[in-house]
Amino acid sequence: MAKIIAITNQKGGVGKTTITFNLAKGLASRGYNVLAIDNDPQGNLTTSILEKPEDLEADILNIFKEQFDFKPQKITNNLDLIGATIKLAEVADNVNMYLPLLIKTYLTGDDNSENIADNYDYIIIDCLPSFGPLNVAALIAADFVLVPTKPAPFAIQGLVSLFKNIVMLKKHNFNRSLKIAGIVMNLVEKTNIHKDLEKELKSQYNDMVFEFSISKGTKLEESPYYGESVMEYAPDTKQTKQFNGFIREFLRRVE
């Protein structure tokens, strides 16, 4: 059965979607069967993977409406997608009691549906920047959380409340076996403040922090526009090297 990874941080703009996209593509290119799930009404992961948003055939909205009789959309040989559109925002505004359970039920089967998770090695869920019910739905389904952050004072302070929420989620039995894959530093630049903040993060979170961080780079920012991972789009860049290192480390941490 697949390992399910929720990529989460209630702060926006830290690189959740960028990391989900490159991790999903990178794992698929290594031969793993991957399902990428967009759980953000902004739909940025969806538009990075599909040429046109109207090409979306498998919408996460179906999961939250309990319409489980659909399959993820085939993108390549071993990469599938469940995408999102702005309509997902309506769900977030009309929460019912069991909504947080629905991603798990869809992926790991209820009484009659087949087990979707059996078809994959990795399921990567890109989360929206909030700690509301949609995010909780991803965390209940997940085996691991992966937390991107950036070297900015407020971003690092924000991790305290994120991890507090994860502890509460476990404590109250929402998902006792949820594990932390780690914190990955993104948008790093060679400035003194960034070096200091990276040091601070490592002293607070020790081994939880990935050895490989991702630097800020134009090619990485451009690549989703062309539907390519940075490894495909700009193989000779520092970010490609870093992503390859990050993916190796990711595999080591979740194996």
Q: How far is the CB of 110 from ligand ADP (least distance, A)?
A: 30
Site for ligand ADP in 63-122 (CB under 6 A): none
- Length reported for the chain: 255
Does 220 bind ligand ADP (CB under 6 A)? Our answer is: yes
Which of residues 166 and 220 has its CB atom nearest to ligand ADP in the complex? 220
* Residue choice 5, 8, 18, 250 for contact with ligand ADP (CB under 6 A): 18
Strand partners, 188: 215
Q: 52 with 79: CB under 8 angstroms?
A: no
Scanning the structure block, which residue is given the tokens 């994120």? Answer: 162
Measure the CA–CA gap between 185 and 156, rounded to whole angstroms. Answer: 10
Which of Mg ion, ligand ADP, none sits in contact with 217, Cβ below 5 to 8 A by type?
ligand ADP
The number of residues that bind ligand ADP (CB under 6 A) is: 16
Does 153 bind ligand ADP (CB under 6 A)? Our answer is: no
Q: 100 with 174: CB under 8 angstroms?
A: yes
Measure the CA–CA gap between 125 and 54, rounded to whole angstroms. Answer: 21
Does 216 bind ligand ADP (CB under 6 A)? Our answer is: yes
Strand 34-39, strand 79-82: pairing:
parallel
* Residue choice 8, 9, 17, 213 for contact with Mg ion (CB under 5 A): 17
Give contact residues for ligand ADP (rule: CB under 6 A).
12-18, 44, 129, 186-187, 214, 216-217, 220-221
